[in-house]
Structure 1
Amino acid sequence: MFSQMFLPLVFALGSVLTYASPTQPLQDRSYHVERDGTKYVVFDHAQTGARMEFVNNSGICETTPGVNQYSGYLSVGDNMNMWFWFFEARNNASSAPLVAWFNGGPGCSSMIGLFQENGPCQFYNGSSEPSINPYSFNEYANMIYIDQPIGTGFSYGTDTVDSAASAAPFVWKLLQAFYTQFPQYESRDFGLFTESYGGMYGPAFTSYFESQNAAGAGENVKLVALGINNGWLDSIYAYKAQIDFLYNNTWRNIIDESTYNSLTDSYNSDCLPALQQCQKSNSDTDCSAALNTCGQEIEDPLQQAGDFDVYDVRSGSNDPNPPATYSTYLTQSSVTSKIGAKVQYQECPEAPYDKFATTGDDSRTYLENLSTVVQSGVQTLIWAGDADWICNWYGVLDAANAIEYDGQDEFKSKALSPYTVNGVHKGDYKSVGSLSFLRAFAAGHEVPYYQPELALQVFIQTMQKKAISST
């Protein structure tokens, strides 16, 4: 349903990454191995029973002198191998915060964000080789891109995850092993940025991290910031907004009044009651039924209503942006061997998404989790490109207004104001306390691709634990 979700791909298993079993000595240990000509650092993490296996400084993507990178796997369970790619900050790496990036799907690779949005390199002007991205988020922060759940991107093995909530413990486990292998990051400010189905991931992950911190379950995750770009935050707002946006938006009105009225009636009579029942019972049966009802009666008819790109309504279905060059690049054996990848890259395989569909997870709401995070003082940025349809800014703003915290009434009633980057009007925004909302002008689903300068500015401001503000 979400970011690059409509691409059925075949998941190819490669060699199995070994993991630390309960019978192995309960002590951290680090050593080196070489497999198929690739040299790995191996680290066994005693507390979680996990094994991390990664390549030092592959030379791929980030070519800034003196900036380190690590790429490889963490075993988060028996034959459950989660891919990560870490890039050191280009500036002040020894004191810069740590930020994790997650793409959506569910089941879409975070290599999308790395190569198409906010990572150290992008493919410019039709080139088949990447070049340095001057607006990369690692200009400011140490960045780790994570492919989850298992079966997504370069991750492989057994996938047991069927909801955002069930995904959270595995991500926490990866961070625990990462902190132990790289203790210099333990006390750093930590931020989580995500998009699309990240509207579910972000609240589920951050609220889980905070609960683990409160329980003293492992190394403290010093959460200071959460960013959600074009997020599916609550299906009740999102499906209604899909109808409204196609009828009346800045770029292209795609449905007529008759279609609008018909689909609004369907939403009110069938989709909305099903979603309300799901969110009341939280049962897989009710939530799956809601997913099917709203998909068949709202989302499917809307997608068939005209020729438009669901991620950027300004263009037809053949819109080439952002370029998909990176996915071909990641199939090259010369690249995968350097970065330590063990399986064929799969951008958005269907299998992980299908597991979420069986529980109807996208019909649930994680707004209560999100409210808890905002209430705790975590600086939270909810932002959206105004040309995206699938998770459009109408529904994103409605959901942001529903976040419960001390400043909710003021936030909800506050009008949007111009947001500028070096004096140029790039969007509209509002901020109250620890919550900011931004509508980014002339941007599709992947905002950092369309508005890189704006994206870096709001990223830095949020990671500095500030409400966003114009420059």
Structure 2
Amino acid sequence: MRISWVPLLPAVAALAVPSDDSLEAFFRRQLPEHPTDVKTIKTSNNVTIRYKEPGKEGVCETTPGVNSYAGYVDLSPTEHTFFWFFEARHDPENAPITLWLNGGPGSDSLIGLFEELGPCGVNKKNESYINKNSWNEVSNMLFLSQPLGVGFSYAEKAAGTLNPITGSYEDPSFAGIDGRYPVINATAVDTTVLAAKATWEVLQGFLGGLPKLDSKIKSKSFNLWTESYGGHYGPAFFDHFYEENLKIANGTQDGIQLDFNTLGIINGIIDEGIQAKYYPEFAVNNSYGIKAINETVYNYMKFANEMPNGCQDQIATCKLTNRTSVSDLALCAEAGNMCRDNVEGPYYVFSGRGTYDIRHPSDDPTPESYYQNYLAKDSVMNALGVDVNYTQSNNEVYFAFQQTGDFVWPNFLEDLEDILSRPVRVALIYGDADYICNWFGGEAISLAAKYKHSKQFQKAGYAPFLVDGVEYGETREYGNFSFTRVYEAGHEVPYYQPEASLQLFNRFWLNWAQVGDSYPVFGAIAYSDQGF
């Protein structure tokens, strides 16, 4: 959930005044050259993959012997999804494949790549550097820009300009030409359910070409990790992927079968009906003793959540609909606006504190998005095989999701509960300084989930999460489900605690416990306040 602008209250968290660095990137835009030496694969499932190997041109992952591939999965003449795949630095043949998705909706997964857990970052000098705590230390990593219009992905592309207010393409007759941008129909994929279906097709297309792209990758072990609006994406995508995979396994559908391993959600918004009440609470009773709003604003936020026809009532009305007709979607959209504008939103107007880190002032852009200028370099664009200007967050996509009320749809907790009944592991991880998807709400989600072992999970206490004897947080864990609060971390947990985040991820897919300095999990595990 990357905010680009924050207006006074309506559609709060949709848009934010750009920093000097993002303005600099905007002013540097130009019509890109077409890439050279692009290779093409035609897969057995009739998908075209266009790609280059950016590491061989000195872009991002330059660790000797570690290959990377970037380009497009072309499902049709109007569906071109950008991917960037990195081999694991160790034993890529047998390492799992992990799909990373950022949220938004409409925010690009390269945020996670460059700012959090990818093989490289970018400094203020517009130079890349190797990230020693990259998750490709232990896993093959796939980053997708989705849905279309996000990142480098496009349906069609045209020369023109990008409106800095709406974030959408403008025809050159209106505003001239400063680049080449994606042209999309944002309503084609305007719900998480539709995005799940679209992403599964892209994933299958990519996997169909993987033997030709990188023949050394043999593993079919699959992880999905995501963040922020990934609280919607993670459960819905994983549930849909799992169901489609079953069809492949029983022979009723063609495709590449995967071995599903883990779902990880970092600071996710999963169910607004549960999480909304914790916005005012976190604003005044957070982990850091910061009282970000006064009593009047606090009481207003609580009242807006609980009053007749307030946030909770409107969410309940949305839940009663089938969410298929225009009128149904309008009711859900109104519920989303009510909750975001009046329960979540007053904090942005009155606190002066950070959206993603309550410890910081609101005008502190942590982490810095230096990588956007890096992706505007001719040499980098050519190495990636792209000729459209980069779009970190597409507000057309954001507003399309907003208009369907996707934010308050109730099915994501249900999807999570379904997943917990399956032989996979689920991790909820929350940095304890984040406001927008705060850990109070995340903990409430973990305790509200209804599945076979929910009572045992609820009774389990917290135990320290340690790395090399240092306590980085605390974990409640039972069986295949864990909730971890990470200390001294904002929204993008791997940015704040890179070593701890890598250990969390590594332990989880290896089926090791999260608590202590870790050990293998054998059957169900539980921890009480006195130990385990």
Above 0.5 in TM-score?
yes
Shift of residue 192, structure 1, vs aligned partner: 0.5
**Which position in structure 1 is the counterpart of 2:129?**
131
Q: 1:59-138 maps to which residues of 2 (within 5 A)?
A: 59-124=58-123, 126-138=124-136
Q: Which runs of 5+ in 2 are unaligned?
A: 5-13, 19-25, 156-183, 324-328, 518-532
**Which position in structure 2 is the counterpart of 1:24?**
none
Amino acid at match of 1:256: N
Residue 171 (1) aligns with residue 216 (2): no
Asked if the contact 2:44–2:208 (Cα under 8 Å) also holds between the matched residues in 1, the reply is no
**Which position in structure 1 is the counterpart of 2:49?**
52
Distance 1:295 1:144, change over 3 A: same
- Using the TM superposition, name which of 231-240 and 183-192 deviates more: 183-192
**Which position in structure 2 is the counterpart of 1:302?**
347
- Using the TM superposition, name which of 285-294 and 59-68 deviates more: 285-294
Distance 1:14 1:372, change over 3 A: farther
Asked if the contact 2:463–2:516 (Cα under 8 Å) also holds between the matched residues in 1, the reply is no
Asked if the contact 1:3–1:196 (Cα under 8 Å) also holds between the matched residues in 2, the reply is no
**Which position in structure 1 is the counterpart of 2:316?**
276
Amino acid at match of 1:188: K
Q: 1:218-257 maps to which residues of 2 (within 5 A)?
A: 218-251=255-288, 252-257=290-295
In 2, Cα distance between equivalents of 1:200 and 1:467: 25
In 1, Cα distance between equivalents of 2:419 and 2:479: 13
Shift of residue 244, structure 1, vs aligned partner: 0.9
**Which position in structure 2 is the counterpart of 1:32?**
none
**Percent identity at matched positions?**
36
Asked if the contact 1:2–1:390 (Cα under 8 Å) also holds between the matched residues in 2, the reply is no
- Using the TM superposition, name which of 132-141 and 205-214 deviates more: 205-214
Shift of residue 440, structure 1, vs aligned partner: 0.5
Shift of residue 123, structure 1, vs aligned partner: 2.9
**Which position in structure 2 is the counterpart of 1:313?**
358
**Which position in structure 2 is the counterpart of 1:38?**
36
In 2, Cα distance between equivalents of 1:466 and 1:205: 24
Asked if the contact 1:3–1:104 (Cα under 8 Å) also holds between the matched residues in 2, the reply is no
Amino acid at match of 1:371: E
Amino acid at match of 1:103: N
In 1, Cα distance between equivalents of 2:439 and 2:99: 23
| 1:360 aligns with one of 401, 405, 408 | 405
Shift of residue 320, structure 1, vs aligned partner: 3.5
In 1, Cα distance between equivalents of 2:76 and 2:339: 35
Shift of residue 78, structure 1, vs aligned partner: 3.8
Can you list the C-alpha shifts for 1:389-429, whole angstroms capped at 9, x where unaligned? 00000111111112222211121232222211111111111
Residue 6 (1) aligns with residue 6 (2): no
In 1, Cα distance between equivalents of 2:128 and 2:450: 43
Shift of residue 3, structure 1, vs aligned partner: 5.3
**Which position in structure 1 is the counterpart of 2:427?**
381
In 1, Cα distance between equivalents of 2:141 and 2:99: 6
**Which position in structure 2 is the counterpart of 1:215?**
247
Distance 1:374 1:8, change over 3 A: farther
Residue 182 (1) aligns with residue 191 (2): no
In 2, Cα distance between equivalents of 1:121 and 1:114: 7
- Using the TM superposition, name which of 182-191 and 156-165 deviates more: 182-191
Q: 1:324-335 maps to which residues of 2 (within 5 A)?
A: 324-335=369-380
RMSD value over aligned CA atoms? 2.0
Shift of residue 156, structure 1, vs aligned partner: 1.1
In 2, Cα distance between equivalents of 1:203 and 1:2: 19
Shift of residue 282, structure 1, vs aligned partner: 4.2
SS of the residue corresponding to residue 52 of structure 1 reads strand
Distance 1:14 1:402, change over 3 A: farther
SS of the residue corresponding to residue 436 of structure 1 reads strand
Asked if the contact 2:121–2:131 (Cα under 8 Å) also holds between the matched residues in 1, the reply is yes
**Which position in structure 1 is the counterpart of 2:161?**
none
In 1, Cα distance between equivalents of 2:282 and 2:365: 22
- Using the TM superposition, name which of 344-353 and 315-324 deviates more: 315-324
| 1:339 aligns with one of 372, 384, 387 | 384
Q: Which runs of 5+ in 1 are unaligned?
A: 16-34
Distance 1:142 1:3, change over 3 A: farther
Distance 1:14 1:237, change over 3 A: farther
Asked if the contact 2:93–2:219 (Cα under 8 Å) also holds between the matched residues in 1, the reply is no
In 2, Cα distance between equivalents of 1:293 and 1:36: 45
In 1, Cα distance between equivalents of 2:421 and 2:17: 39
Distance 1:198 1:65, change over 3 A: same
Runs of 4+ in 1 over 3 A off after TM superposition: 1-5, 7-10, 12-15, 183-187
Q: 1:134-173 maps to which residues of 2 (within 5 A)?
A: 134-157=132-155, 158=184, 159=186, 160-173=188-201
SS of the residue corresponding to residue 277 of structure 2 reads helix
SS of the residue corresponding to residue 389 of structure 2 reads coil
Asked if the contact 2:34–2:386 (Cα under 8 Å) also holds between the matched residues in 1, the reply is no
Asked if the contact 1:8–1:349 (Cα under 8 Å) also holds between the matched residues in 2, the reply is no
In 1, Cα distance between equivalents of 2:227 and 2:67: 26
Can you list the C-alpha shifts for 1:255-279, whole angstroms capped at 9, x where unaligned? 2333222221210110101111112
- Using the TM superposition, name which of 266-275 and 51-60 deviates more: 51-60
Shift of residue 46, structure 1, vs aligned partner: 4.5
Distance 1:166 1:13, change over 3 A: farther
| 1:398 aligns with one of 444, 449, 459 | 444
Give the TM-score taking structure 2 as reference length: 0.81
**Which position in structure 2 is the counterpart of 1:23?**
none
Amino acid at match of 1:273: D
